[in-house]
Structures are given as C-alpha cells and as structure tokens.
Structure 1
Amino acid sequence: MILTGDEIMREHNSARIDIRPFNPDQVNPNSYDFRLGSVLKTYVDHVLDARLPNSVTTTRIPEDGLVLTPGRIYLGHTLEIMGSDHYVPIIRGKSSTARLGLFVHVTADIIDIGSHNQWTLQLYPVQPVRIYPGMLVGQVTFWKTLGEVTLYSGKYQGSMGPVESLVHLDFHAESIREDEKIDSV
C-alpha cells in the first residue's frame, strides 16, 4: 500500500520517514517532490567497463543553469537526504520534467528499505535541456512492506552527492566467493 501525503507528513513527524530538509509545500496527495542537488558527474570514456572503476568528471551546476545534451548519462543527486527503516521508497521523475524530455531516473527506481542518503539520479535528456540546482525534478512514494524486514547495508549506504556505479565491487566479491569455494575443496 502506498502512503498518502498526509501519512507521509505524519510518518516524517514521527521520524519513521527521513527527509532532510523537509518542506511541507513539497507534499503531494501520495508523494513528496524532491529537488536536484548542485553536482553532476559524467563518465569520461565512451565505453564503460562493468568490471572496473570508470573515471568521471564532476561539475557544479551554476545558478544560471546547465544545458544537458542528448547521448550521455548524467549522474545527479537529490538535494534532500531521504530514507526509511519502515517503508520502501520508490522514486520517479515529475511529469513536468518528463514533458521537457528529461528522464530523471532511467531505471532502478526502488530504494531499499533502510537506505538513507542523497540518492543518485540518472539523468538522460532526449533533447538539449537547461537544468538548475534546487529545481523540483522528481517525486518519492513510500510503500508498506509485507514480511520480515532486512535493512539495507550495501555499498551505497550514506552516499552524499552523485555516486558512479560501484558494480565492479560485485565482481571482486564474486571472485572472493569463488576462491573460497576452491579452497574448501
């Protein structure tokens, strides 16, 4: 079940939903609008390797905006720190932003329960579009769980600002597990 805006306010006030800073004006009938943080990262290389760390450049979005160009992914972040140990947050772009041709969160919209961070956003423009720090770009909904809850404690926990893919760490962990299997034989 999805929480209504009134319930998001109540749960925030009881510290069961973490949104910092919190602005009651950003509460909607069943979601909370979040803002774009001021930092973007872009990958340096055209071909990215999932087994290796990929180099990035970091750019601060100026107050007068920054034009995003099609054909590349931009890693942005929420201005707010958000999370919950009681509900599953799901994030999506606002329809107003989508109508500008900007995909705000290309995929991976489910945020694990227990994850508290500034969330990294994958921004993908279909045509050139100017963005601004602090603009409302997306919304988060909160969903009740069914079953035993295990809180997130993964590699992105506590992230501040945009964080590039850490998928290469999964390959390292996988090779360690394989080595342990070989050693036990």
Structure 2
Amino acid sequence: MILTRQKIIAAVRSGDILIEPFDQRHVSTNAYDWHLGDVIRVCSDPVLDAAAVTRFTEQEIRPEGMVLVPGELYLGITHERTCSEAYAQLINGDRSVGALGVWVHVSAPLGHVGHAIRWTLEIRVARAVRVYPRMAFGKIVFVAPHGDSVSYQQVGRKYRSSSGIDVSQLYDEVERGAR
C-alpha cells in the first residue's frame, strides 16, 4: 500500500519517516519530490569491470549548472536523506526530467525498511542536458510492508552505512576464478 500525502506528512511528524531536509511543499499526492544533490561522479574507465573498483572523477554541480553528455555514466546523490523503520521506499525519476531525456535510477529503486541513506543515483542522458544543484529530480514513495518486517540495519550488507555517492561494490562478490 502506497502512502498518501496526508499519511506521509503524518508519518514525518510522528517520526515514522525521516526526510532531511523536509519541506511539506514537496509532498505530492502519493510521493515526496526529491532533489539532485550538488556533486556528481563521472565513471572514468572506458570499460567498467564488475571485479574491480570503479574509478571516477568527482565534480561539483555549480549554481550555473553542469552539462551531462550521452555515453557517460554519472553517479549523483539526492539532496535529501531518507529513512523509515516502518515503511519501505521506492525512488523514481521525475516525468519532467525524463522529458529532457534524463534516465535516473533505473536499477535498484528499493530502499529497504531501515535503510537510512542519501540515495546514489545512476544517471544517463539521451542528449546533452544542463542540470542544476537541488533541482527537483524525482519522487520517493513510501510503501507499507506486509508480514514480519526486519530492519536493513540488522540484515543488510552492502551500502548499509552509505553516506555519500557509492560506486558498485559488486567486486566484493565476484570471485577471481569466475572472471
């Protein structure tokens, strides 16, 4: 069950949902409008290797914006940090941003119950597009779990203590002999 605007606001007020910073004006009918952070990592290896740490350069998104170009993989971050021990979260891009040819966070949209993060964003563009720090970039919906719920803080492995932009940690799972 997806929470409505009124339920999201009530859950933030009661402490069942944490959104930092929170602005009630960004609560829509069934979601919270999240914003692009002010840093982007550009994955710089011409071939990304699942068994190796991804190299990147980190760039600040200045107030005058940053032009993203096709063919690059960008890892961004949400301005907001979210957490809930009561609800799972699903993050999506925004229709208006999508209409600019920006694909954001097409994999791993689930934030488990108890996952406290600023979301790492996978960003790709169809054409060159200028983005700005803290521009509206997507929506987060909150979903009530059914059945027994266990906090990600108790069972999660990767990205549990994420506080910034995370590159893939798949290299921890890939066995050297499997390559």
Instruction: Report the TM range for the smaller structure's normalisation.
Output: over 0.9
Percent identity of equivalent pairs: 36
- Equivalence map 1:6-85=2 (5 Å): 6-85=6-85
* C-alpha displacement of 1:155: 2.1
Cα RMSD (Å) of the superposition? 1.5
Residue-by-residue CA offset, 1:69-118 (whole Å, 9 max, x unaligned): 01121000000111211111001011011111101212211111111010
The letter for the 2-side match of 1:156 is Y
The residue matched to 1:52 in structure 2 has which SS? coil
TM superposition score normalised by structure 1: 0.90
* C-alpha displacement of 1:2: 0.4
The letter for the 1-side match of 2:62 is P
* C-alpha displacement of 1:161: 2.5
Give yes or no for the alignment of 1:128 onto 2:128: yes
CA distance in 1, matches of 2:100, 2:83: 28
The residue matched to 1:119 in structure 2 has which SS? strand
CA distance in 2, matches of 1:161, 1:126: 26
Whose strand proportion is higher, 1 or 2?
A: 2
CA contact (8 A) 1:89 1:142 kept: yes
* C-alpha displacement of 1:154: 2.4
Residue-by-residue CA offset, 1:124-171 (whole Å, 9 max, x unaligned): 111000000000000000011111112113221232231111111123
The letter for the 1-side match of 2:85 is D
- Which of these two proteins has the greater Rg computed from alpha carbons? 1
Unaligned runs of 5+ in 1: 176-185
Residue-by-residue CA offset, 1:33-75 (whole Å, 9 max, x unaligned): 0000011111121111111112111111111000000112100
Q: Equivalent residue for 1:163?
A: 166
CA distance in 1, matches of 2:142, 2:80: 15
CA distance in 2, matches of 1:131, 1:154: 32
Which stretch shows the higher mean deviation, 82-91 or 163-172? Answer: 163-172
Which stretch shows the higher mean deviation, 33-42 or 160-169? Answer: 160-169
Q: Equivalent residue for 1:151?
A: 151
Structure 1 segments of 4+ aligned residues over 2 angstroms from their partners: none
The letter for the 2-side match of 1:157 is R
Which stretch shows the higher mean deviation, 145-154 or 79-88? Answer: 145-154
The letter for the 1-side match of 2:160 is Q
Which stretch shows the higher mean deviation, 163-172 or 28-37? Answer: 163-172
The letter for the 1-side match of 2:31 is S
CA contact (8 A) 1:36 1:136 kept: yes
TM superposition score normalised by structure 2: 0.93
